[in-house]
């Protein structure tokens, strides 16, 4: 059963997500009781019976990086243990990836990966499932989306004394019927022992179904992380700026980035190249101001233009 579910790239996207810059994203595990905050307390959600949490953000804001960071943090299971009231907690995850293979962007690929992880962590349920679904031990099952969905639900129901938290990244990277995907996810998280953390861009269909749940918008929360990243990168690569100068440029970049970490990383690289080429403060600021704030326009500029700052 386990070998029939496996495919080589089932965890590739999650494992290939770059680790976050040092000291970033630590706020996700901090307690916030201030009602004026712009997001739902994540640790409170982990500890509670609330079933769904949605991390939304613009393209390039760092959603996948944040999801991977959460999965590698010891504080994740520490907090989930409060929700489970001492039951064993299993964390299962899947990262959709539109640029990947068919299984990496399909419902069947997600289900196979989640089932594989579940059975690998809790192999004793495999015999029960094989018997219930009449799976012949010597025959490789021919999986369909429906059979996989039924099998996963049966596995979760069979594990009544276990708790499961599913992390599903990149719902907007999925290729298929989004409504059907969400219906399936909600059916799973309706089980008493299951909760789901989801991430995506704020696309219309997803907003309509997820906006009433606990959530955060990443671009509202990573200004300080972007500042820290930019300041440390500039300080490390340039002798021209003291800490106050680096901080000033970092704030300018973070302001214009509007929460998009990838944009900030690209313009920071450009600024460092300019400093190493002899840019003064005015030229650095011109470089930042002349950079398109939209990612598509920025990529086009990088592909088609020469260094406008030095053109004069």
Q: Do 132 and 260 share a domain, yes or no?
A: no
Q: Do 273 and 209 share a domain, yes or no?
A: no
Q: Do 119 and 72 share a domain, yes or no?
A: yes
From residue 165, give the alpha-carbon distance in Å to each of 60, 118, 197, 206, 273.
25, 11, 7, 20, 43
pLDDT at 311: 47
Residue ending a domain, among 165, 189, 220, is: 220
Residue 258, domain extent = 223-304
Q: Do 251 and 216 share a domain, yes or no?
A: no
Q: Do 143 and 279 share a domain, yes or no?
A: no
Q: What CATH number did the domain enclosing 82 receive? A: 3.40.50.300
Contact 192, 159 (CB under 8 A): no
Q: Do 204 and 262 share a domain, yes or no?
A: no
pLDDT at 170 over 90: yes
Q: Do 55 and 204 share a domain, yes or no?
A: yes
Contacts of 13 (CB under 8 A, 6+ apart): 64, 95, 96, 97, 100, 104, 169, 170
Residue ending a domain, among 203, 220, 237, is: 220
Query: pTM above 0.75?
Result: yes
Q: Do 56 and 154 share a domain, yes or no?
A: yes
**Burial (CB count <10 Å: 0-12, 13-18, 19+), residue 78:** middle
Domain for residue 310, yes or no? no
Domain for residue 312, yes or no? no
**Burial (CB count <10 Å: 0-12, 13-18, 19+), residue 98:** exposed
From residue 209, give the alpha-carbon distance in Å to each of 149, 183, 186, 204, 273.
20, 10, 10, 9, 44
pLDDT digits (tens, 9 = 90+) for 120-135: 988 888 777 777 666 5
pLDDT at 211 over 70: yes
The total number of structural domains that make up the chain: 2
pLDDT at 63: 95
Domain for residue 309, yes or no? no
Domain for residue 186, yes or no? yes
Q: Do 132 and 200 share a domain, yes or no?
A: yes
pLDDT at 309: 47
Residue ending a domain, among 205, 220, 235, is: 220
Contact 214, 37 (CB under 8 A): no
Long-range own/partner contacts, residues 301-310 (CB < 8 A, 24 or more apart)? 302/266, 307/274, 309/274, 309/279, 309/283, 310/277
pLDDT digits (tens, 9 = 90+) for 244-280: 778 889 999 999 998 999 889 988 998 998 888 888 8
pLDDT-above-70 percentage for the chain: 88
Q: Do 19 and 152 share a domain, yes or no?
A: yes
Locate 287 and state its tokens. 């470089």
Domain for residue 8, yes or no? yes
Q: Do 102 and 161 share a domain, yes or no?
A: yes
Q: Do 6 and 57 share a domain, yes or no?
A: yes
């Amino acid at each position: 059963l386990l070998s029939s579910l496996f495919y080589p790239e089932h965890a590739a996207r999650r494992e290939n997500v770059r680790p976050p810059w040092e000291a970033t994203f630590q706020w996700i595990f901090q307690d916030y009781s201030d009602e004026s905050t712009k997001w739902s307390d994540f640790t409170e959600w982990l500890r509670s019976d609330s079933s769904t949490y949605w991390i939304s953000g613009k393209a390039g804001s760092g959603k996948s990086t944040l999801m991977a960071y959460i999965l590698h943090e010891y504080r994740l299971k520490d907090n989930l243990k409060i929700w489970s009231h001492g039951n064993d907690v299993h964390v299962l995850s899947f990262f959709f990836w539109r640029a990947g293979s068919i299984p990496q962007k399909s419902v069947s690929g997600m289900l196979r990966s989640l089932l594989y992880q579940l059975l690998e962590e809790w192999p004793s349920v495999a015999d029960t499932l094989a018997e219930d679904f009449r799976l012949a031990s010597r025959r490789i099952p021919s999986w369909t989306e429906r059979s996989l969905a039924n099998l996963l639900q049966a596995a979760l129901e069979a594990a009544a004394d276990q708790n499961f938290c599913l992390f599903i990244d990149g719902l907007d990277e999925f290729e298929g019927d989004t409504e059907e995907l969400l219906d399936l996810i909600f059916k799973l998280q309706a089980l008493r022992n299951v909760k789901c953390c989801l991430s995506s861009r704020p696309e219309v269909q997803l907003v309509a179904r997820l906006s009433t749940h606990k959530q955060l918008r990443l671009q509202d929360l990573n200004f300080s992380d972007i500042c820290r990243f930019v300041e440390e990168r500039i300080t490390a690569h340039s002798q021209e700026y003291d800490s106050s100068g680096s901080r000033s440029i970092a704030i300018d970049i973070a302001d214009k980035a509007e929460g998009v970490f990838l944009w900030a990383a690209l313009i920071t690289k450009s600024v460092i190249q300019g400093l190493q080429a002899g840019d003064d403060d005015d030229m650095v600021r011109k470089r930042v101001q002349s950079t398109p704030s939209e990612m598509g326009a920025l990529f086009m500029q990088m592909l088609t233009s020469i260094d406008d700052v030095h053109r004069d």
